[in-house]
Structure 1
Amino acid sequence: MTYHLAGDSTVAPGKPAELPLTGWGDFLAAHVEASVRNLAFGGATTESFLQERWDDLMSQVRAGDTVIIQFGHNDQKQPELLASRGGYTDRLRRMVGDVRGAGAAAVLCTSCERRWFDGAHVTPTHGDYPNAVRDLAQELDAPLIDLNVFTTWLYEDLGDEESRGLLTHCGPGEHPQWPDGVADDTHFHVRGAEKIAAFVARSLRAIERRDGDGPARGGELVH
């Protein structure tokens, strides 16, 4: 069995020149007893992934595999084409259908939240997109890992100062890629990526236990 990952930069492998900035996908293999194939890439939307990577991903999907799908960060920047209740969910629906047609399981994920604090609380930044994924999971009777809820809780539980270490922050001169420093509250530091990957792995185990031989059904939220 293989886990195949479809997603954006918050899932994608880190570029060597940008490390420790990285997505959670490359750390999943350390927490699961199966191979992981990570095709996520920076800037990806549901549309660009279908155009550029989907055929490649599906070419190696076999019956019994699981495809984990997480988009939204970049889709929300193209509301005319990829509206939360329009092009975005239409494309997610197609992905789930293709995966099921190959005899594999599709797991939907909401977007990881941005670490934008207002006082003690994180400001939601994805509008209707997380709710659209939750509703689609219910509609399609598909399992859902609610990373939007989990990351919001994680940041707030740690607080503004401590949670900063999960994202890519560095001072001037600390990294050749960002000579003037960087304060990136979207993209994970290795520390954060590892925590998200561990949570995804625990969620996958919970989903698989619920259904015995395969993923849970009914759009169940795992968080």
Structure 2
Amino acid sequence: MTYHLAGDSTVAPMKPAEEPMSGWGQALEGYVDAPVHNLAFGGATTDSFIASGSWDALIAEVEEGDTVVIQFGHNDQKEPELLASRGGYADRLRRFVSETRERGARAVLCTSVERRWFDGDVVTPTHGDYPNAVRDLAHELDVPLIDLTVFTTWLYEELGDTASARLLSHYAPGETSAWPEGLADDTHFRFEGAKKIAAFVARTLRAIERRDGDQPAKGSLLVS
């Protein structure tokens, strides 16, 4: 059993030149007892993931009993004519689910991780209708859903403005060679934040697998 990840920079593996900035997919292998095949990349939309050949490369490796975890939206929302939440975006997600099921594998849809934009003590929603479109599609197709929009919103608000910044790519001048003058990025995680999201994803996958009656030998999940 293998976990295959399709998504954008918030899922993607860490680039050595950008360390410690990382997508949560980089950390997932620390919480699951199965291989992780992560083809997510920065700037990806559901459309560019297909056009780049990444989806074909991913699905070619999928075998019966595998799980494909899909999270897009950050960049799709920047192309509303081509990738409207209830149009091209949903259509491409529907294709991903269909082709995953054709392989005898499980598709899992994720809403986008939220941007850490505070208004007082409350995080401002930044993804418009895209999370709701994913929730509705999951219901329509009877696909498991991991609601990372809700989880990350709760996480940031629970920690508060100051403490939650430590999960994201906020670097002081000289802290990392990638950004010697410092950085304040409220979209992309540092590795500590990526681990928090990955742990939640792993626990939710475990719940999905228990609900569906999967046997631990097919890919048990570690609790940490």
Q: Which amino acid aligns with 2:67?
A: T
Q: Which amino acid aligns with 2:51?
A: Q
Shift of 1:43: 0.3
Render the CA deviation track for 1:189-210: whole Å, top value 9, x for unaligned.
Answer: 1110000000000000001111
Q: Which amino acid aligns with 1:159?
A: G
Alignment partner, residue 130 of structure 1: 131
Where do 1:62-141 residues align within 5 Å?
Answer: 62-141=63-142
SS at match of 1:17: helix
* Unmatched runs of 5 consecutive residues or more in structure 1: 215-223
Q: Which amino acid aligns with 2:19?
A: L
2:2 paired with 1:2 = yes
Which piece of structure 1 moves more, 165-174 or 53-62?
165-174
Q: For the residues of structure 1 that align with 2:67 and 2:175, how far apart are their CA atoms? A: 39
SS at match of 2:93: helix
Alignment partner, residue 220 of structure 1: none
Q: Which amino acid aligns with 1:105?
A: R
Q: For the residues of structure 2 that align with 1:190 and 1:104, how far apart are their CA atoms? A: 29
Q: For the residues of structure 2 that align with 1:55 and 1:170, how far apart are their CA atoms? A: 36
Q: For the residues of structure 1 that align with 2:21 and 2:195, how far apart are their CA atoms? A: 12
Alignment partner, residue 24 of structure 1: 24
Q: For the residues of structure 1 that align with 2:34 and 2:174, how far apart are their CA atoms? A: 39
SS at match of 1:184: strand
Q: Which amino acid aligns with 1:95?
A: F
Shift of 1:181: 1.3
Q: For the residues of structure 2 that align with 1:33 and 1:126, how far apart are their CA atoms? A: 32
TM-score (ref. length: structure 1): 0.94
Q: For the residues of structure 2 that align with 1:106 and 1:51, how far apart are their CA atoms? A: 20
Among the aligned pairs, what percent are the same residue?
A: 73
Shift of 1:176: 2.4
Where do 1:116-195 residues align within 5 Å?
Answer: 116-195=117-196
2:35 paired with 1:35 = yes
Shift of 1:93: 0.2
Which piece of structure 1 moves more, 60-69 or 174-183?
174-183
List structure 1 segments (4+ residues) > 3 angstroms apart after TM superposition.
none
Q: For the residues of structure 1 that align with 2:26 and 2:188, how far apart are their CA atoms? A: 14
Q: For the residues of structure 2 that align with 1:179 and 1:212, how far apart are their CA atoms? A: 49
SS at match of 1:31: coil
Shift of 1:173: 2.7
* Unmatched runs of 5 consecutive residues or more in structure 2: 216-224
The RMSD of aligned alpha carbons is: 0.9
Shift of 1:50: 1.2
TM-score (ref. length: structure 2): 0.94
2:202 paired with 1:201 = yes
* Residues paired across the two proteins, number: 214
Q: For the residues of structure 2 that align with 1:72 and 1:171, how far apart are their CA atoms? A: 29
Render the CA deviation track for 1:162-216: whole Å, top value 9, x for unaligned.
Answer: 00000001122322222321100000011100000000000000011111138xx
Q: For the residues of structure 2 that align with 1:183 and 1:157, how far apart are their CA atoms? A: 20
Q: For the residues of structure 1 that align with 2:185 and 2:100, how far apart are their CA atoms? A: 33
Which piece of structure 1 moves more, 24-33 or 114-123?
24-33
SS at match of 2:36: strand
